[in-house]
Amino acid sequence: MDKSNWTLTSFHKLGFSEYEILDCVDEDNVIGRGASGKVYKAILSNGEAVAVKKLWGSCKEADGKEQKEDDGFEAEVTTLGKIRHKNIVKLWCCCTHKDCKLLVYEYMPNGSLGDLLHSSKGGILDWPTRYRIAVDAAEGLSYLHHDCVPAIVHRDVKSNNILLDGEFRAKVADFGVAKVIGKGPDSMSVIAGSCGYIAPEYAYTLRVNEKSDIYSFGVVILELITGKLPVDAELGEKDLVKWVCATMEHKGIDQLLDAKLDLRFKEEISKVLHVGLLCSSSLPINRPSMRRVVKMLLEVRPLEKAKSSKDGKLSPYYYEDASDHSVA
């Protein structure tokens, strides 16, 4: 890759240069491919690792044809560059050269929740770990919806966009299609979301707002509890939300739990399932706000709530206030 005339825009103090990053953009270092780009693992001279995303269509292909430029770059950089939260993947910097665009993120050694949960290693994720992942992701989304002005809607919440660090703590990632929602109409120009996670009203409104993210997050909760993909041949013609509802009605909760989960936690799991079903209600008005979701999840484990508060990890906005009743 040509190393001349690159522009580096940093959002944090960096201990590396763009040249170190460019050296690692090599097919041998590819660790994943997402909706918005190909991801490489870069080992820096100081021994640390970062993840480098090269956006689809932002660089010339080997045959020299120019792909369509991906508008995701500007959205992702503008959004992520401003964000500082423990449950949002950190964007270190971006590198640009003509139409080539690279995003440099913190490296998450345990990869995505989706890849791990649906692999043969899914058993590593016991119930306490899955519960903590749900809380972490909820806190990240709550920050986007309630603490960012204007509010930020992710638009592609799914298990593959929830990344896990070395201790299996979760961070929300991939703002490739995130939009900053102001006071205007919540409209959109491209399809937002992934199969199985898209809120039903999208089919007739073609609009997204916070309620769309909340539906998708509900699907992630159901994934954590059932161990099933949101769209799976096992489910027949139903999606995961419909399958869970039907199974609950006809067979009971025992028939939908992931076999890898310890039934000692059944009462807790049942409470979290209730939250997941509220989030994935077919009517947007029935879905609780993410602020309310965090509160409900923390109430499942009172000790966890006290710990979060004591550690200063729980911001005051997570507590219910009068304005929350209209959306809960």
Catalytic residue among 71, 99, 115, 156: 156
> Could you confirm whether 99 is annotated as catalytic?
no
- Going by the annotation, the residues of the binding site are 54
- Going by the annotation, the residues of the binding site for ATP are 54
What strands lie across the sheet with 91-97, from one edge to the other? 7-10, 91-97, 100-106, 49-55, 37-43, 30-33
Q: Take residue 118 and report the two structure tokens written for it.
A: 């649906």
First to last CA, the chain: 51
Neighbours of 13 (CB within 10 A): 6
The residues annotated with a catalytic role in the active site are 156
